[in-house]
Amino acid sequence: MRKLRYNKANAPGSIHLKIQKESMKHSKKKFFSEIHFLVLLSGMAALSWEVMWQIKSSLALGVSAWGTAITLAVTMGGMCVGAILMGHGLRKRKTVRPIRIYAILECAIGVAGLFLGSAFHAIEALDTYVYAINPDNAALVHLLGIATVLAVPTMCMGATLPVLGLAAKQRKTSIAVLYGLNTLGAAIGTLVAAFILIPFFGVSSVIFMVSALNITVSVLAWKMDSGAVKTAGATKKAAPKERSYTLSPRTEIVLVAITGFSTFMLEVAWFRSLTAAFMSTTDAFAIMLSSVLIALGAGAAFVPILKKRKVTLGYLMGWAGILILLTVPVIERFDLFTFQVAHFSSIVFAQWFFITLYVTGLPMFLLGVALPWILDEQDSPKRWGVLYGTNAFFAIIGSICAGWLFLPTIGFAQTAWFTGVLVVCAGTMIAPREKRYVLSAVGVIALLIAVTFESGVGKTRVQGQTSYNSDFKMSKILESYEGPEATVSAVEYDNGLRSIIIDGFVTTQQSGQDEQQKSEHYMAWMGHMPMILHPDPKNALIICFGTGQTANAVRNEKATSVDIVDLNKNVLKLAHNFSANEGVLDDPKVKTTIMDGRAYVRRTRKVYDVITLEPMPPNFAGVNALYSQEFYQHARERMSEDGIIAQWLPFHLISARYSASIAKTFQSVFPNAILWVDSHSSTGILLGSADDNSDLEATWPGFKRLGIARDMTEDEIKKLVILDREEMLKYGEFGEIINDNNQLLAYGRAAHMLRKAENRTKENYKIINDIAETPFEIPAEFAK
């Protein structure tokens, strides 16, 4: 009998094994592209969440630099803790299924987001209660409340880093590439949230959409899981990963700490300067942030390529610091040409984006290489977690130091110099010996260039659009402060005019002794008008101080108690530069509070006869909260039965649609409302009564009070009521209700501010005069 030869290669089981291996090979290639796509989507969701968290926290607890810092600290702190805990947890296991864990973490983030609205509503209620019984503990409630709400999602976000490290190891890809794609996704998420999602769908819908995105990523990742992978602790003697450098673990920690600290220091410093050029709108902030994230993400994604080309990490970091120093004189002067192009281009946002990316992109690209490079050198989940956690922790330190220490004490340029020198030193420290002298020498030259070409911001000039009128030239800076909230300056022009400039925007002014400037006339009448309409106004609240002319008018109308609330203490420091307020802050019946106006109205239990407010322009970041229906509801709760409220309506800053929206929203809470227009400045003032049944237009009890200096007669004042209660309803038909959900004035709307003031004002007057029984005479400068 012939003996059959057994061919192991052709055995049925072996054939099946070959097919299975080939299938796995192809599935790996397929999964390679898909996991990168999922990481990109995850990054989009992460930054969208950060936008939502900031909006919700500012509405629940008030707009402030302190509140923003707490939200940032909790976010980065949660990611720090999550990364470290997950790294330690994975280290104790011999094998894990990283994609399954990643899916669970993404699902947890999405599910946590579904409770975001109710959670912040509970924090707001708790904050109101605590402030009423013990105001000193309000800050603690703020911190604990934000930490409670954001703990789960932020820790899960941080925990994905060491998990993705194992996934990268399993799929033979680079953790640096995954990190870079995640960051690029964050840049996309920033732009999509600001320009598409929130403007078209509103905050509540976006929260559900982003939750759905996280859950979708979770489901797809779960389905793509293909087994377990060994961790670094699976064997006692794991083969060490081949490295591109010989840095010690301690040096790695120092480097990721420096890059985290420096990146956020630069963001705070650069954004402060760029805001003066681009205006303090949410659109501008989204553009600036996305530019930085694109550069950081690209730097991370290029790590494998840079390694293949044998470029050293120290050399890259050294040049990052050098370029940081060289960009400072350019960023200082952004305001000198951005306003020149703003009014002549319909694609100004694209211009802002590419200009910012062009100038800041390369230094951020090089700075963004360090953390992913060092992560890519590791082979341990614990090490990934510790390194990432260290970077996140020092990012918190960097942002706080920039806002509360460096900017207030040494200013923007010097803060950026310090950061650049720090990065140059770090790069030189780890660079090859033959390149250290070159980096040091070029670094010194770059610093000398930065110092030599300093533009004198805060000393000899103020950034931004420093005058309403191009004929006026600034002659001197009276006083200037850089603080956590903003850069605030009092300046004087060659004609004696004085202004307050906040982050590059002229917010208010006082004319010189020899002339009366028309544009400021309405400020006093923001105080006179509501006081005149009330029969016996005793308690008055002024939100936003400005030069103090409104507060002084309220005081002169014989109020017995005047409370002034302003977000920025430095504005109050400038009061002595403006004689028109007649030293109102020195009056014992005047009390000042540094707080967000909306938060104060919600927290206080005091009842007011008059509330008057003139915030920053409606389209500026955070100001939507002072024009929303929810704010007016809070204000009405704090008003007496016959209380009067006055709201600034700046026709020259917003389009007719948004002016009508403000009026409609105002009247939705105060049905008994009228529109009064100052004949000198052509500025509108909305006036509403808490008494829905009184005839607001017919009763002017304040004229019976004698001995009050006013620069208009009773007949002149009454004639300037342009829209009565019924006409206001018709005017509101041109707009829509502004609320906390649609953020109508804040997101995707700043383009209207770039149109020339004449066009906006003329457009507003045309609609109002079509409705008004007695049309308002359009000023000559707007009638052309």
At 295-305, the pLDDT tens digits run 999 999 999 99
Helix (H, G, I), strand (E, B) or coil at 247: coil
Cβ(721)–Cβ(697) below 8 Å: yes
> Which residue(s) pair with 488 in the sheet?
481, 502
Give the pLDDT of residue 422: 97
Percentage of the chain lying above the pLDDT 70 cut: 88
Give the pLDDT of residue 496: 86
pLDDT, one tens digit per residue, over 580-616 is: 999 999 999 999 999 999 999 999 999 999 999 999 9
Cβ(477)–Cβ(491) below 8 Å: yes
Locus of tokens 């009184």? 694
DSSP states of 269-296? HHHHHHHHHH-SBHHHHHHHHHHHHHHH
Q: How many CB atoms lie within 10 A of CB 476?
A: 10
Give the pLDDT of residue 470: 57
Give the pLDDT of residue 461: 86
Give the pLDDT of residue 753: 47
Distance CA 7, CA 381 (A): 44
Which of 56, 44, 52 is closest to 207 using CA atoms? Answer: 52
- The β-bridge relationship of strands 673-677 and 721-723 is antiparallel
pLDDT, one tens digit per residue, over 132-149 is: 898 888 888 888 999 999
Give the pLDDT of residue 2: 39
Give the pLDDT of residue 30: 45
Give the pLDDT of residue 483: 87
Which contacts qualify for 710-719: CB closer than 8 Å, 24 or more apart?
Answer: 710/528, 711/524, 712/525, 716/679, 717/529, 717/532, 719/774
Supply 567's token pair: 């977000």
> Which residue(s) pair with 508 in the sheet?
500
Distance CA 144, CA 150 (A): 10
Give the pLDDT of residue 759: 65
Q: What residues have CB less than 8 Å from 331, skipping those under 6 apart? A: 270, 273, 274, 359, 360, 416
Give the pLDDT of residue 172: 87
Cβ(654)–Cβ(756) below 8 Å: no
* Whether pTM exceeds 0.85: yes
pLDDT, one tens digit per residue, over 89-146 is: 998 888 889 999 999 999 999 999 999 999 999 999 999 999 989 888 888 888 899 9
Q: Strand runs (DSSP E) across 99-166, as ranges?
A: none
pLDDT, one tens digit per residue, over 751-760 is: 444 444 446 7
Give the chain's residues under pLDDT 70.
1-33, 232-245, 338-347, 465-471, 512-517, 748-759, 778-784
**Cα distances (Å, whole numbers) of residue 251 to 389, 397, 477:** 15, 19, 45
